[in-house]
Amino acid sequence: MTREDRGLNLDLGRRRRLGMVEAVWGADKTVDQIVAAARRLRAAGETLLVTRVDEAKARAMGQQLPDLCYHPQARCITLGEAMKGAPWQRLALLTGGSSDLPVAAEASTALACHGVKAELIADVGVAGLHRLMARLDHLARFPVLIVCAGMEGSLATVVAGLLPQPVIAVPVSVGYGVSAGGHAACVGMLASCAPGLCVVNIDNGYGAAMAALRILRALPGNTEGRARQAASGG
């Protein structure tokens, strides 16, 4: 075991157990630590997903792993083949404004690793409510919606009040003063009067993606999800 491998206890059984690839938090890890994780996952035949990686760190990693793929807007690195999806694996990803796009991109990249296509519907915040209203018929076709919004975060409440499918809200750390780095949006979403709105942590696009994946796999017709549940004794 190398010095970089120490402290790394990767979940190599996550795909088999949960149907999810192991994800590595990249912000607080060194280049050598992430490279060591990547090599171990590749040796095990697993896909690599690293979140919160800046461009300098990605370039340094690329010198050691030339075949990795860096997604600059999402601030994510992927390596290896994506899981194969099914026709039902598709959802809509909404943003209040263009400033929410990095968080939405993180969610989209994480979903893509699992074979799920996310259609981006950007810049439909409530400051121009007509932009959202014009898309309601289209949004009604998706089994799950992820809504990323900063400021007061009211887009998620409006969406969940108008459409019946599961809505996962992501508060984004965008806004002036009392927005407090996404705390105002988070509190507003948690206090939402829209029944059944689910909320993840601030800027947690990855967490929203995995919540959506769990919902998709519980839908009727998903034989893969039922087989995994039966195998686990559920």
Query: pLDDT tens across 9-64, in order?
Result: 787 778 888 888 888 999 989 999 999 999 988 888 888 899 999 999 999 999 99
- Distance from C-alpha of 187 to C-alpha of 117, rounded to nearest angstrom: 29
- Distance from C-alpha of 25 to C-alpha of 30, rounded to nearest angstrom: 11
> Is pLDDT of 85 > 70?
no
At 225, which helix (H) or strand (E)?
Answer: helix 223-231
Token duo for residue 56: 């300098």
Band the pLDDT of 116: cuts 50, 70, 90. Answer: very high
| Domain 90-217, CATH | 3.40.50.1970
Q: What is the mean pLDDT of residues 68-87?
A: 84
Please list the residues that pair with 94 across neighbouring strands: 121, 147
Confidence (pLDDT) at 12? 79
Amino acid (1-letter code) at residue 86? A
> Is pLDDT of 5 > 70?
no
Band the pLDDT of 133: cuts 50, 70, 90. Answer: very high
Band the pLDDT of 198: cuts 50, 70, 90. Answer: very high
> Is pLDDT of 160 > 80?
yes
In the chain, % of residues over pLDDT 90: 69
Torsion of CA 153, 158, 159, 161, to 10 degrees: 130
Confidence (pLDDT) at 88? 54
Token duo for residue 117: 């296509």
Please list the residues that pair with 169 across neighbouring strands: 147, 199
Start-to-end C-alpha separation, the chain? 37
> Is pLDDT of 192 > 80?
yes
Higher per-residue confidence, 234 vs 116: 116
Please list the residues that pair with 224 across neighbouring strands: none
Domain boundary assignment for the chain: 14-79, 90-217
Burial class (CB in 10 A: 0-12, 13-18, 19+), 8: middle
> Is pLDDT of 158 > 80?
yes
| Cα three-residue angle 206-217-51, rounded to 5 degrees | 15
Confidence (pLDDT) at 225? 52
Confidence (pLDDT) at 15? 81
- Distance from C-alpha of 85 to C-alpha of 111, rounded to nearest angstrom: 10
- Distance from C-alpha of 98 to C-alpha of 95, rounded to nearest angstrom: 7
- Distance from C-alpha of 77 to C-alpha of 79, rounded to nearest angstrom: 7
In the chain, % of residues over pLDDT 70: 89
Amino acid (1-letter code) at residue 184? A
Name the 3-class secondary structure at 23: strand
User: What b/e readout covers 44-81, taking b as 16+ CB neighbours within 10 angstroms?
Assistant: eebbbbbbbbeeebbeebeeebeebebbeebbbbbbbe
Name the 3-class secondary structure at 231: helix
Q: Whole-prediction pTM value? A: 0.87
Q: What is the mean pLDDT of residues 92-116?
A: 95
Q: What is the mean pLDDT of residues 146-153?
A: 94
**Residue 29 CB neighbours (<10 A):** 20
